[in-house]
Homo-oligomer: A and B are copies of this chain.
Amino acid sequence: MRERILETADLLFYQRGIRAVGVDTIAAEIGISKRTLYNHFPSKDELIAAYLAGRFTKAPASDKPPVEQILGTFDRLERGFASKGFRGCPFVNAVAELGPEDQSVRKIAVAFKESRRLWFRDLLKQLGVTDAEGLSTQLTLLVDGSIAQDLVRNDPSMARAAKEAAKVLLANAGVKVDEQKSSRAAPK
């Protein structure tokens, strides 16, 4: 039950915005009474917190080469953009509409952004990049930039543009970037 409530709240919060969705709407969507919802979550704020916590997905461990993992991020982004339900980064959206004064929201948003940066950073260290800290930050800028741009433009190709920029930044840091798909398809 708690699960049902949470996944419905997730869908509606993300799709229409947190402030735009009332608890009545969520309960009605599931077909339960409002009382039941409040039996599982003492307040809407707690439901919001649970929603954001549920969005905090760890980056999947992978045995692929670091470069592929990094660049693959942008491929996944592009698929995400092209999918029907995409509506930007839930954390950025939450901070935008709830305000930075809401410390609990801001905290989890910062934690999420930082976790992704650290994921980039560790991969870059594996590649022997000197300034892994700086470059990982720059990569997150490309990620969040493409998300914001796609949110307003609805143009999934923003992910490809970000990927191209990422390749340049990686190459500039001394990382060998091979587009293995095309080079393997046409090695001449």
Contact = CB atoms under 8 A, between A and B. Distances in A.
Q: Main SS of chain A's interface residues?
A: helix
Contacts of A110: 152-153
A46 B59 CA distance: 43
Contacts of A168: 168-169, 172
**Max chain B CB contacts within 10 Å: which of A20, A89, A100, A106?**
A100
The size bracket of the interface on A is 35 or more
Interface stretch (A3-11, A23-31, A122-130, A132-140): A132-140
- What's the number of copies of this chain in the assembled complex? 2
A97 B93 CA distance: 7
Interface of A: 16-17, 19-20, 87-89, 91-93, 95-100, 106, 109-110, 113-114, 134, 137-138, 140-149, 151-154, 158, 161-162, 164-165, 168-169, 171-172
